[in-house]
Structure 1
Amino acid sequence: EEIRKHPNGVVLTCSALKKAYRDRLRESTPELRFAFLEIAKSEAQRRVVARAASHFFNAALVDNQFATLESPVGEPDVLRLDATEPLDALQTQVSQWLHSKSLA
């Protein structure tokens, strides 16, 4: 309901690691799209260790997250992104993709 109050759309972040989670979100919001940040487990581990002092997510959780992940590759309305690219490049790619989808 809250999403429908914003006719121009909203951007939300969540892990939605399992297909069942994404399917449930899609059921409630059929126009929903996902930007999937692909990253190697070793790079994710490196990043988590580097920010350990300032973030709640510890390195021990990375293995669990990757074990739980069911890749959305092949699912409808999923944009695959290389998470090692600079943030501004990722933002541009997502914005262009969302804009092109809204024109279709």
Structure 2
Amino acid sequence: MNKTLARLCVVPALMMAATLSHAADKGTEVYNANCAMCHVPGLANAPKFGDKAAWEPRMAAGKAALLKSALAGKGAMPAKGGNPKLTEEEVGAALDHMLAALK
């Protein structure tokens, strides 16, 4: 592979890595500001952050169902964690952050 072609391949890869890093940062930011207050202590039966056993039955329904519940609210959890200004992408990023803690 010549040097010019190699450089052309590196730039998109770096851009993708920066985008993924930003998405992860956004998920952490949204989680900390909107979700942690209930998911850290497990208020109102919220599954605790990083608690695989508590998340297993919820994950069995699939990520799409989890996102739908987070967006619309379910049980004691208000829609979008109580922040109606959050976008679907932001809620999804926070969900990804919580699910990543289970791996």
Q: Please, what TM-score do these two structures have when normalized by structure 1?
A: 0.26
Question: Which has more radius of gyration?
Answer: 2
Which one has a larger percent helix, Structure 1 or Structure 2?
Answer: 2
Q: Please, what TM-score do these two structures have when normalized by structure 2?
A: 0.26
